[in-house]
């Protein structure tokens, strides 16, 4: 039997997944807004008729709200799922299956993530954009201290999330409109999906943004995010603003950027000068970070003129880069969709007899012939005492 608090949590997640505010849900139900707030907080009960009407409004079966445990599929409670096509939803379903397999191999080998993730969502959602920015910056600084991170951590974000035991999948799917997602659910644990095939977005920033959602918004159970709008002025909800600001401050912290420049940006601003394209290219070369991301971060910190990113839209960064170092650098692409920790666990499971050849092929999404060749090579290494 669910408690009032557990029922209220399911109702809140379903409302948010349906994209409704408390006021809109109250209007549909014919109740004052505080009544919805009290129901979701577990401070007010509701009769069967009210539950039936809420289930209809939120697009869920009544049984979903009443069954004990977490019987719902992880994607059922994830926000924004309905915004994507059936093909994209199938991609996410495969991600869920991957996370479940990840959990299975962890359980078989009796291993688990190093430590639980901290929950910074107790304070609730930000009241306005300014508070969202402050929360994002503050938690990014706190997390860098907690994890002992020094310098710019762009290239190390994948390894960091993997080390934390987050179930991470980073396939290259250009046709998929899902850019990223996070899930937090008993069936999948803490999980992040990042599509390296979505435009020119910088993968470390995408993953760090989803990590921010995990730290702030895990009570939602998950959220799916599509390809960003081409309009730089497109509005973001406050949770997304907070997570994005966290990502920039986590990956590109102001103190580290300041140390990399041959001058103090603050003092230069006082003299009436701001960062320009050559400065951004210097940082780009040092940190292997797209100039567009550095431009946005510099704008956040007030180091460039307002609206610089819009004016730089005509800048051909490849041309500037060739002039800078005399050669064209092709963007790197991560071809391995599975994190190192998962691969190590699978191989360890095979060596211990937990993972069969057939199961390994399923875990790695390989053809049986490909899996057989790999395992034959692994067997030869074992006979030679090389692994």
The pair of three-digit structure tokens given for residue 190, joined into one six-digit string: 């803490």
* SS3 category, 68: coil
DSSP state of 82: G
For the segment 92-112, the average pLDDT, to the nearest whole number, is: 87
Phi and psi, residue 191, nearest 5°: -135, 145
Q: In angstroms, rounded to a whole number, what is the distance separating the alpha carbons of residues 100 and 120? A: 25
Q: Among candidates 222, 179, 213, which has minimal Cα distance to 16?
A: 222
pLDDT-based confidence at residue 327 (cuts at 50, 70, 90): very low
pLDDT-based confidence at residue 282 (cuts at 50, 70, 90): confident
Contacts of 71 (CB under 8 A, 6+ apart): 64
Residue of 201 and 93 predicted with greater confidence: 93
Residue of 52 and 326 predicted with greater confidence: 52
DSSP state of 79: B
Contacts of 357 (CB under 8 A, 6+ apart): 368, 371, 372, 375
Contact 347, 378 (CB under 8 A): yes
pLDDT score at 169? 92
Q: In angstroms, rounded to a whole number, what is the distance separating the alpha carbons of residues 359 and 365? A: 10
Q: Tell me the β-bridge partners of 226.
A: 178
Contacts of 167 (CB under 8 A, 6+ apart): 98, 99, 102, 103, 188, 189, 190, 191, 192, 342
pLDDT-based confidence at residue 104 (cuts at 50, 70, 90): confident
Residue of 149 and 123 predicted with greater confidence: 149
Q: Give the least confident one: 10-19, 63-72, 359-368.
A: 63-72
Query: How much of the chain, in percent, has pLDDT values that exceed 90?
Result: 20
**Positive or negative CA dihedral for 94, 99, 100, 102?**
positive
Check whether 270 has a pLDDT greater than 60: no
Residue of 194 and 288 predicted with greater confidence: 194
Q: What is the pTM of this model?
A: 0.75
For the segment 38-47, the average pLDDT, to the nearest whole number, is: 87
pLDDT score at 234? 45
Phi and psi, residue 182, nearest 5°: -130, 150
């Amino acid at each position: 039997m669910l408690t009032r608090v557990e029922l209220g949590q399911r109702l809140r997640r379903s409302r948010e997944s349906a994209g409704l505010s408390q006021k809109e849900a109250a209007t549909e139900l014919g109740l004052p807004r505080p009544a919805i707030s009290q129901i979701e907080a577990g401070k007010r009960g509701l009769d069967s008729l009210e539950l039936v009407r809420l289930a209809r409004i939120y697009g869920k079966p009544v049984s979903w709200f009443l069954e004990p445990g977490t019987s719902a599929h992880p994607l059922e409670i994830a926000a924004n799922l309905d915004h994507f096509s059936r093909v994209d939803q199938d991609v996410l379903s495969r991600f869920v299956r991957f996370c479940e397999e990840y959990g299975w191999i962890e359980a078989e080998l009796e291993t688990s993530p190093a430590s639980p993730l901290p929950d910074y969502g107790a304070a609730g959602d930000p009241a306005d954009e300014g508070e969202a920015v402050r929360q994002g910056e503050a938690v990014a600084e706190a997390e860098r201290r907690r994890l002992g991170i020094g310098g710019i951590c762009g290239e190390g974000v994948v390894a960091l999330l993997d080390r934390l035991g987050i179930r991470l999948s980073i396939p290259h799917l250009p046709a998929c409109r899902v850019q990223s997602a996070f899930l937090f659910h008993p069936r999948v644990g803490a999980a992040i999906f990042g599509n390296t095939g979505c435009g020119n977005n910088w993968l470390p920033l995408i993953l760090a943004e989803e990590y921010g959602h995990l730290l702030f918004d895990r009570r939602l159970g998950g959220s799916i995010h599509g390809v960003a709008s081409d309009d730089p002025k497109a509005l973001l909800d406050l949770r997304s603003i907070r997570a994005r600001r966290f990502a920039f401050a986590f990956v590109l912290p102001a103190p580290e950027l300041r140390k990399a420049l041959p001058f103090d940006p603050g003092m230069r601003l006082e003299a009436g000068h701001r960062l320009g394209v050559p400065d951004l290219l210097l940082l780009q070369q040092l940190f292997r970070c797209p100039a567009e991301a550095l431009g946005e971060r510099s704008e956040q910190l007030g180091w460039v003129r307002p609206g610089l990113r819009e004016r730089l839209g005509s800048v051909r960064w490849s041309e500037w880069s060739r002039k800078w170092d005399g050669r064209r650098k092709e963007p790197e692409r991560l071809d391995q969709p599975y994190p190192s920790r998962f691969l190590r666990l699978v191989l360890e499971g095979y060596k211990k007899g937990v993972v069969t050849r057939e199961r390994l092929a399923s875990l790695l999404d390989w053809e049986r012939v490909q899996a057989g060749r790999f395992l034959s090579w692994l067997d030869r290494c074992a006979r030679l005492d090389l692994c």
